[in-house]
A and B are shown apart, each in its own frame.
Chain A
Amino acid sequence: MIKSADVVIIGGGISGVAIAYNLLKKGVKDVVVLEKNYLASAATGRCGAGIRQQWGTEMNCKLTKYSCEFFENAQEELQYDGDIEFKQGGYLILSSTEKEHEQFKKNIALQNSLGINSKLLNLDEAKEIVPFLNTEGLISATFHQKDGHLNPFHATQAYADAAKRLGAHIYTFTEVTDIMVEAGKIKGVRTTKGDISTNVVVNAAGGYSQLIGNMVGLELPVFSERHQILVTEAVEPILDPMVMSFSLNLYCQQVPHGGFIMGRGDAGEPRDLRITSGWHFLEEMTKTITKVLPPLREVRFLRQWAGLYNMTPDRQPIYGPVDEVEGFYLAIGYSGHGFMLAPATGLIIAESILGEETSLPANELHLNRFKSGNLIFEPSVV
C-alpha cells in the first residue's frame, strides 16, 4: 500500500471514482480511493441508477444536464471495454394532484429555458409513450427523451478502470478506521491495511458519511435512511421510459436485460444503517405499481433489497471544503440522487480541491448553507 498521497478519497462508489478520475485527468499525481468493501457495494450498486434532467431548480437542471451529456459519451471518454448500458428511454413523470400539475408547468418552462427539451403531456399523449398506463387518478405527465438509466456496476467500473489507467490507487476491502488531524489540518488516514499520509481527504462515503465526519470531529447535518427496491424476472421489452411519480411515490424502469426495477420511499423509516428487507414495502410497492402499470401483475419478482439514502435537511448534496478542518472535503448527502450527479460531482470536487474556478453552479451546495439558513428549495425531489 502506498505510504503517502496527494488526495485520499474515502468511498468506492461512483462519486469516489468519478472524483479520482477528474483529479487525475487534471494532473494530480497520487490519488487514492479507499473502499471498505468492493466498488459500488453500497448505495451506488443498490440504487435505481436513473438520470433525469427534469428538475425544478436551475442548479439541478444544469448539474444533471452536464451529467447526462457526460454519460452519453462515457463509453468513449472512459474507454470502457464493457457496456455501461445507458438506455435513454426518457422519464415519464406522472402528476396526480392539481398542485403537482401546476408545478410541472413551472418545471417545464424552466427546463426549456435551459435547453432541456422536456414536454408537458396530457394523459392521451402519455399513453402514446406507455400504452398500458392506467391513467385513473392521474392529471398529466412530463416527458424528456434524454433521461434514462444505466447499469450502476458498469458505470462505476468504467470510471474506476479509466482512473486506474491514469494511475489511481484503488484499494478495496480496506476500511478507514481514523483520520489524523493536527492543528486543524488533515495529516493522514488510518486504515485496516496501514496508514497513508496526506493533506487532503474527500469524504465520499455515502450512507456512512456521518461516521467519517466524526473521525475529524464534525457532526455533519446528515442521516441515513433505508430505501427498498425490487427486481422482477426478465420479460420482453414493453416499457421504454422510467415511469415515476412524486405524489404516488414510485419509480419503475425496465432495464435492457428485461427485468423491471422499481422502488418507493417510506416516511416511517428509522434513521439508522439497516439495509434489511421488509414486507411492508413489498405490499405498498405491488399495490401501487399493479394499479399504474397493470400488465406487471403477471410478472414475477425475484428479489428485493435495500440501500441507504444519505439525507440532508434540504435533500440536496453537500459539496466542498469545510471551515473547521483544512484539507477535508465533502461529497455527501445526495438524498437519493447521487448516482445521477456523479459526473458533476467528480468535476466539482476536483475543481474545488485544486482551487479552480467552478465550471458548474454548485457554490450554494456548501456546508455553510445550514449555518446561514440558505437552504435550497427543490420542488421535484423524491
Chain B
Amino acid sequence: MKDNTIICRCSDLTLQDLRDLINKGYTSFDEIKRISRIGMGPCQGRTCMQMVLKELSIATGKPIAELAPGTFRPPVKAIKLGEIAKHALKGGELIHD
C-alpha cells in the first residue's frame, strides 16, 4: 500500500498521517481518533477502524483481538435531528407495533 492511501475518507487522513501519529506514541484507536478525527465522521469508524487497528497491531506487536476498538454509540446510521424531534413531539419513547 502506498503511504498516501486514504485511510479515513471522512476526514481525509492518509496511511502516512496514521503512521506518523503512531510514531508519536499514540497506541490506541481512541487516542488517534481524538487527536486526528479518524472515526469521527459520518462512517463513525465503520470504514477506518479495522485499518487503524491493523496498523496499531503491526506497530505494537499485539494481536488485533487485544487492542481496544472505539466505543460504539448511537445512532447506527446518521439521522436528521428533525426526525427525532417529530417522533418525540408525538409522545416519543418506545414505539410498539
Contacts and interface: CB of A to CB of B under 8 A. Distances in A.
A231 B89 CA distance: 21
Contacts of A45: 34
A272 B76 CA distance: 26
B42 to A, nearest CB: 6
B34 A290 contact: no
A300 B78 contact: yes
Interface residues on chain B, size class: 20 to 34
Nearest to A288: B85
7 smallest CB-CB distances across A and B, nearest first, come from A297-B82, A283-B88, A300-B78, A286-B85, A153-B34, A286-B84, A290-B85
A234 B12 CA distance: 14
Contacts, number: 85
B73 A286 contact: no
B41 interface: yes
A283 B93 contact: yes
B92 interface: yes
Contacts of A40: 34
Interface string A281-311: 0111011011000001111111111000000
A168 to B, nearest CB: 14
Nearest to A297: B82
21 contacts: A38-B28, A41-B30, A45-B34, A82-B35, A157-B35, A280-B93, A283-B84, A283-B92, A284-B88, A287-B88, A290-B82, A296-B82, A297-B82, A297-B85, A298-B81, A298-B82, A300-B81, A301-B81, A302-B41, A305-B71, A305-B73
B71 to A, nearest CB: 8
Interface of A: 38-41, 45, 82, 153-154, 157, 231-234, 257, 277, 279-280, 282-284, 286-287, 289-290, 296-305
Contacts of A234: 41
Contacts of B82: 286, 290, 296-298
Contacts of B88: 282-284, 286-287
B74 interface: yes
A259 to B, nearest CB: 8
Given A40-B34, A154-B35, A233 B42 contact: yes
Interface string B43-82: 0100000000000000000000000000101110011111
Contact of A302 (B34, B35, B44): B44
Contacts of B75: 301-304
Contact of B81 (A38, A39, A284, A297): A297
B35 A286 contact: no
Given A157-B35, A287-B88, A303-B44, A277 B74 contact: yes
Contacts of A277: 73-74
B39 to A, nearest CB: 10
A287 B74 contact: no
B93 A286 contact: no
A170 to B, nearest CB: 10
Nearest to A302: B78
B40 to A, nearest CB: 8
Contact of B35 (A153, A233, A284, A303): A153
A301 B44 CA distance: 11
Nearest to A39: B31
Interface centre among A233, A277, A282, A286 (most CB of B within 10 A): A286
B81 A304 contact: no
Nearest to B75: A301
B73 A303 contact: yes
Contacts of A233: 41-42, 78
B37 interface: yes
A300 B89 CA distance: 18
B37 to A, nearest CB: 7
A256 to B, nearest CB: 11
A289 B31 contact: no
A282 B42 CA distance: 18
B80 A298 contact: yes
Given A154-B35, A284-B88, A302-B42, A290 B30 contact: no
Nearest to A293: B81
B31 A38 contact: yes
Given A153-B34, A299-B81, A302-B42, 8 more contacts: A153-B35, A233-B42, A234-B41, A277-B74, A302-B75, A302-B78, A303-B74, A305-B73
